[in-house]
Amino acid sequence: MRRGVVSSSVESNTYIGPEVSVVTSKDREKYPLGGNETCSQDWQQLSGKTAILGREQFQEFSDPIQRVINCREAIHEHIERRVAIFFQQLVCAFKTDLHFEEGKTTHQGKGEGALTLSNGEQRTVKVEIKRNAAHSSTLPALTAYHGNEWREYENKRGAKPKGFVFMKDSDLWRISNATMDLPIEINNADREIDEKWTTSVLRQRSLAILNRCSRGEVTPKEGLEAFFVQARAVTQHRERSVTDQAVKKALEFYDEDFDFFAQGLKYDETFLDSLLNVRVDRGDEAAKMRQAVYQLRFKAIQQLQLDQSELLQKVNEVAKGIFAKVGKPVYHQQAFRHLLVRAMPTLEDQRRVRKMYNLPGEGLSFSSVYKLRTTQSRQGRFDKAVTAIEPHIGEIQVLARELSVKMQQLRIEDYSKRGAILRHLRRFKGWSQQRLGEKIREIFPNVPSSQTTISRSERMTRAFFSEFVTQLARVFKVDECCFIIPNFYT
């Protein structure tokens, strides 16, 4: 269980243990955080809705500085997410020639006043622990403009172009706007380095790096290196200036973590492998191969996010039309998704749509999953939303069939890309098709690997079976993920 604040499973006005009571704000129930994460306080192990907190623990968590120290693990994860998300943004922006500006973020709900501790003695002393939903991303939302149109505008040769939400509804868009529910001291530390009223603004500096990456002036790796330099400079500047000692402590931890990840990028040649979900062997020869694999991965990630964004925007257009007719009952979005999953033609397509939406509960209906995540009253409101939308199931069924066809097209395109990846890696090695076949036979003597077989594989007239992917990975000393890109439509 991560360090942080009390679990969102604790209900309002619940008495916790004989000595300390925990009360969560009713505002928390009005504004559920949806897919965002809520950390849990590592006092004593929380079990269901009860935990026993002694007087010493009450004193410990009454101290704002100690609260920050107790959240050390959560802060590390908070910064780790900043790093991972900004790198993904760099990858998706790389050589797109788009210009980026800050966009509007989705409302995350209230966090302040979410927790009250009482020491349980006759003379009760209550300490309110304020909390906020802290964005894990430096750039929670991005508005993009076509580069040539933006340059015309900057040079005063045209009107300001119309922007669009970058990768709207994709996984990148969602994780960029996601939050962690943390003590307000940590949220205030974020404000010190991110918000416009400070003298050193990490968001503006990060935007400049992202725009350079979009123009191809720096690679995603170089962009991440520049981000670490700016993040440490801004954090150290605010750490020297801030007067709130708890916020100062949080900024101290931020600086330690930014340095930790910067050192990892500088000295560990495999640092980016985990961020890209690939693995390449170590060594001088592998270093060149790693760069080739990274370039392939950049393109694959860009295309995957774009495909997901386009599909979900089409889905949302249909949903918007239905909501215009029935209104927006509570949990209307969740009800629509449930009906869409149910309308998909096959069980496999249902699984794919769940994956597209990042819905949990493989093998369960969305309704069943939602029961596990909400109170009985919320489930009742969800059921009412389903009933309100069901008269329009015909439109949803048409959409479901279109989605099924589109995902099949994407799978066919994905298979063709595997052949292109094989050709790219072979040429990078300087091997002919015949030489690659010889390399395969050196390790796997009984595997068909003639020049004709390799040619058919590159042209995708021969299927890429999983065994063949494993064999190619061994020959090129990379992992299988280089050929099989994780996605929602397979």
Q: What is the pLDDT of residue 406?
A: 93
Q: CA 304, CA 307: separation in Å to the nearest integer? A: 5
The type of residue at 357 is Y
**Structural contact between residues 126 and 22, judged by C-beta atoms closer than 8 angstroms:** no
Question: 267 CB contacts (<8 Å, ≥6 apart)?
Answer: none
- pTM for the model: 0.77
Q: What is the DSSP string of 260-313?
A: HHHHHHHH-TTHHHHHHT--B--SHHHHHHHHHHHHHHHHHHHHHHHHHHHHHH
Q: What is the pLDDT of residue 52?
A: 40
Nearest in space to 410 (alpha carbons), one of 455, 374, 356, 457: 356
**Structural contact between residues 92 and 301, judged by C-beta atoms closer than 8 angstroms:** yes
Q: What is the pLDDT of residue 21?
A: 33
Q: CA 68, CA 289: separation in Å to the nearest integer? A: 43
| Averages of pLDDT over each 10 residues, the chain, 490 residues | 31 32 33 33 31 56 83 91 94 94 62 44 51 80 93 91 89 84 86 71 93 96 97 94 94 97 92 84 72 85 88 91 89 89 92 82 52 64 90 96 93 82 88 92 87 86 74 85 78
Per the structure block, which two tokens stand in for 426? 């072979």
Q: What is the pLDDT of residue 11?
A: 34
**How many helices and strands, by DSSP H and E, does the chain display?**
20, 9
* Cα–Cα distance list, 229 to 206, 234, 266 (Å): 11, 9, 12
